[in-house]
Amino acid sequence: MKAIVSASAPFDVPFYDLDPMNIVWHGNYAKYFELGRVVLLTRIGYGYEAMKASGYAWPVIDMHVRYYRPLILAQKAEVVAGITEWENRLKIDYLINDLETGKKITRGHSIHVAVDIETEEMQWETPPILREKLSPWLVS
Amino acid sequence: MKAIVSASAPFDVPFYDLDPMNIVWHGNYAKYFELGRVVLLTRIGYGYEAMKASGYAWPVIDMHVRYYRPLILAQKAEVVAGITEWENRLKIDYLINDLETGKKITRGHSIHVAVDIETEEMQWETPPILREKLSPWLVS
Amino acid sequence: MKAIVSASAPFDVPFYDLDPMNIVWHGNYAKYFELGRVVLLTRIGYGYEAMKASGYAWPVIDMHVRYYRPLILAQKAEVVAGITEWENRLKIDYLINDLETGKKITRGHSIHVAVDIETEEMQWETPPILREKLSPWLVS
Amino acid sequence: MKAIVSASAPFDVPFYDLDPMNIVWHGNYAKYFELGRVVLLTRIGYGYEAMKASGYAWPVIDMHVRYYRPLILAQKAEVVAGITEWENRLKIDYLINDLETGKKITRGHSIHVAVDIETEEMQWETPPILREKLSPWLVS
Average pLDDT in the D17-30 region? Answer: 96
CA distance A13 to D38: 11
CB contact under 8 A, B67 and D67: no
Mean pLDDT of chain A: 96
The stretches in chain C having pLDDT less than 70 are 140
Q: What is the value of ipTM here, to two decimals?
A: 0.95
How much of chain C, in percent, has pLDDT values that exceed 70? 99
pLDDT value of position B124: 86
Q: Do the Cβ atoms of C40 and C6 come closer than 8 Å?
A: yes
pLDDT in tens, B25-57: 999 999 999 999 999 999 999 999 999 999 999
pLDDT value of position B80: 98
CA distance D48 to A20: 15
Structural domain harbouring A65: 5-137
pLDDT value of position B3: 97
Phi, psi of A21, deg, nearest 5: -85, 5
Which residues of B are less than 8 Å from D38 in CB distance? Answer: none
- CATH label of the domain that carries residue A31: 3.10.129.10
Q: What is the DSSP string of chain A?
A: ---SEEEEEEEEPPGGGB-TTSSB-GGGHHHHHHHHHHHHHHHTT--HHHHHHHTEE--EEEEEEEESS---TT-EEEEEEEEEE-SSSEEEEEEEEETTT--EEEEEEEEE--EETTT-PBPSS--HHHHHHHGGGS--
Question: How many domains does one find in chain C?
Answer: 1
Phi, psi of C53, deg, nearest 5: -60, -30
Average pLDDT in the A93-102 region? Answer: 97
pLDDT in tens, A46-66: 999 999 999 999 999 999 999
Which residues of B are less than 8 Å from C34 in CB distance? Answer: 14-16
Q: Do the Cβ atoms of B6 and B40 come closer than 8 Å?
A: yes
Q: What is the DSSP string of D70-115?
A: ---TT-EEEEEEEEEE-SSSEEEEEEEEETTT--EEEEEEEEE--E
CB contact under 8 A, D18 and C19: yes
- Chain C contact for A19, CB < 8 A? no
CA distance A113 to D112: 46
A 72-131: CB under 8 A from D: 73-74
Phi, psi of A66, deg, nearest 5: -120, 120
- Taking CA atoms, A98 is separated from A23, A78, A110, C37, in Å, by 14, 7, 21, 30
Q: How far is D140 from chain B (nearest CA, A)?
A: 34
Q: Do the Cβ atoms of A127 and A117 come closer than 8 Å?
A: no
Residue D140 lies in a domain: no
Q: Do the Cβ atoms of B110 and B37 come closer than 8 Å?
A: yes
pLDDT value of position D55: 97
Mean pLDDT of chain D: 96
Average pLDDT in the D12-33 region? Answer: 96
pLDDT in tens, D66-121: 999 999 998 999 999 999 999 999 999 999 999 999 999 999 999 999 999 999 99
CB contact under 8 A, C27 and A23: no
Substitution target in D65, D79, D91, D92 with the highest count of B β-carbons within 10 Å is D65
pLDDT value of position D140: 61
Q: Do the Cβ atoms of A35 and A91 come closer than 8 Å?
A: no
Higher pLDDT among residues D11 and B139, named by residue: D11
Q: What is the DSSP letter of D4?
A: S
In the three-class reduction of DSSP (H, G, I as helix; E, B as strand; rest coil), residue D127 is classed as coil
pLDDT value of position A140: 60
Q: Do the Cβ atoms of B31 and C14 come closer than 8 Å?
A: yes
- Chain A contact for D57, CB < 8 A? no
The chains found to touch D (3+ Cβ pairs under 8 angstroms) are A, B, C
Buried b (16+ CB within 10 A) or exposed e, C96-119: bbeeeeeeebbbbbbbbbbbeeee
Tell whether the model's pLDDT for residue A135 goes beyond 70: yes
Name the closest residue on chain D to residue B26, using Cα atoms.
Answer: D60
User: Which one of C60, C66, C67 has the shortest CB-CB distance to A67?
Assistant: C60
Tell whether the model's pLDDT for residue B104 goes beyond 80: yes
Q: Within a 10 A sphere around the Cβ of C34, how many other Cβ atoms?
A: 21
Nearest CA-CA partner of A34 in A5, A65, A55: A65
According to the 3-state scheme, what is the secondary structure of chain B? Answer: CCCCEEEEEEEECCHHHECCCCCECHHHHHHHHHHHHHHHHHHCCCCHHHHHHHCEECCEEEEEEEECCCCCCCCEEEEEEEEEECCCCEEEEEEEEECCCCCEEEEEEEEECCEECCCCCECCCCCHHHHHHHHHHCCC
Helical (H) or strand (E) element with C34: helix C29-43
Which residues of B are less than 8 Å from A20 in CB distance? Answer: 15, 18-20, 22, 73
- Taking CA atoms, B71 is separated from A22, A48, A49, B18, D31, in Å, by 18, 38, 40, 9, 19
pLDDT value of position B77: 98
Name the closest residue on chain B to residue C17, using Cα atoms.
Answer: B31
pLDDT in tens, A78-94: 999 999 999 989 999 99
User: Which one of B21, B30, B70 has the shortest CB-CB distance to D26?
Assistant: B30
- Taking CA atoms, C67 is separated from C5, C26, C106, D32, in Å, by 24, 8, 5, 30
